Structure 1
Amino acid sequence: MTPVTDEEFNDLLSSGFGHEAVHLEMRDAYGTAVEVPHMAQWAAGEPDDLRWLQDWCVTVREHVKAGRSVRRARVVSEPLSDYQRWSYSIADPMVEAGEDIRWVPRRLVSAIAMPGNDFYLFDRRLAVFLLYAGSGLAAGMLKTTAPDVLDLCRASFEAVWALSIPHREYQPV
């Protein structure tokens, strides 16, 4: 596996796949630099116009218009952590843009083999693992094209997806 820069990752998300990008999230809390201030606003009961999400929404719309799909499965503990409750509260614009976001209660995935880290899988040809510190802050990314790793990522994502609940149908606990 080799490191991935933020620039390289952003290029992958914007134009680095021809058919599909899938994303499996398995943590109950994150703390990305972009999200922290917005989550703090939410926690304080302050409104957020979600303008900071618009670049991603535009990107998703462009992918959908070009016939590419973007799917995200979130494996979550219930009751939801504060982070996941916030994440749920801001997902509508992304779903409206065309990202298929689904939720999976962690209790349903006990028998599914999954990689040790969240990942994106681009066109079944490249996996990018997202690394996080215990605090939830981003700690780097690694990429691979190893066939056995790609197979694990694809199989785990599809197994989780089969159990998933679409965002608009999921009722947070």
Structure 2
Amino acid sequence: MSLNEKPFADLLAATRHSAVHLEMRDLYAVGDEAEDYAAFLRTGTANTDPTKSFWPEWLPLVTDAVARGVVMRRVRIVSEPVTDYIRYEHAITVLNLQAGEDVRWLSRRQAADLALPGADFWLLDGKVVQFNHFTGDGDWAAKERTDNPDTAALCAAAFEAVWQRAVPHEKYTV
């Protein structure tokens, strides 16, 4: 099975040291969270029940990885003032943290002088990159994976530069 054909869960299960995720959009409109996001817009309250929505699929992947010693870090570059979607994402991040992810936030203005890849990505063990491509309105378009060392090094450097400037979730207010 080629790198692009493997389920992400299998790639994460094979990860031994680190999994980092850089997110750079102000709006995601992916189907698995559409209902929860719509409810948030109506009520102002986020669904943080770990047994609902997409969480039962994601949280065990994170807790298993962290239990194996994998350090999972996620950083989000956001425009300020933030969008409604980012307020929603900030509200549900408590579940990422409870599962063992370390999450930080960075104002887009503070990232303006950083060289960044053109798409969100995951970098696993500093070797495998998964770029996540989205449509203009935020829905999934495609994923693209590579184990090219130059691409992995570019993503690692970009992530670390953003991480150093970013604010821990607990200190970032929306």
Corresponding letter in the other structure for 1:8: P
Q: 1:65 aligns with which of 54, 64, 67?
A: 67
> Is the contact made by 1:129 and 1:141 (CA closer than 8 Å) also made in structure 2?
yes
Q: Which of 131, 134, 139 lines up with 1:132 in the alignment?
A: 134
Q: Which whole-Å deviations, capped at 9, do the CAs of 1:94-147 have from their partners, x for residues lacking one?
A: 101210111011110111100000000000111010000001000010011112
1:29-108 equivalence runs, <5 A: 29-45=27-43, 48=47, 49-50=49-50, 51-52=52-53, 53-108=55-110
Task: Measure, in 1, the Cα distance between the counterparts of 2:42 and 2:102.
Answer: 29
* Structure 1 residue matching 2:129: 3-state secondary structure: strand
* Deviation of 1:3 (Å): 7.8
**Map of 2:4 onto structure 1:** 4
Long gaps (5+) in structure 1: none
Aligned length: 169
For residue 26 of structure 1, the aligned residue among 15, 24, 27 is 24
In 2, the alpha carbon distance for the partners of 1:69 and 1:126 equals: 15
**TM-score normalised to structure 2 length:** 0.91
| Separation of aligned partners in 2, 1:68 and 1:148 | 23
Question: Retained in 1: the 8 A contact 2:23–2:76?
Answer: yes
- What's the offset of the Cα at 1:47? 6.1
Q: Which moved more, 1:17-26 or 1:47-56?
A: 47-56
Partner amino acid for 1:168?
Answer: E
Q: Which amino acid aligns with 1:101?
A: V
Query: Distance between the aligned counterparts of 1:147 and 1:59, measured in 2?
Result: 25
The Cα of 1:57 is off from its aligned counterpart by 2.0
TM-score under structure 1 length normalisation = 0.91
Aligned-pair RMSD on alpha carbons?
A: 1.7
Is there any run of 5+ residues in structure 2 with no aligned partner, and where?
A: none
Q: Distance in 1 between matches of 2:130 and 2:20?
A: 10
- Divergent runs of 4+, >2 A: 2-5, 46-52
Q: Structure 1, residues 41-69: CA drift from partner, whole Å, max 9, x if none?
A: 11110663342213322222222221111
Q: How far is the alpha carbon of 1:19 from its aligned partner?
A: 0.8
The residue type equivalent to 2:131 in the other structure is F
Aligned partner of 2:113 in structure 1 is 111
The one-letter code of the counterpart of 1:11 is D
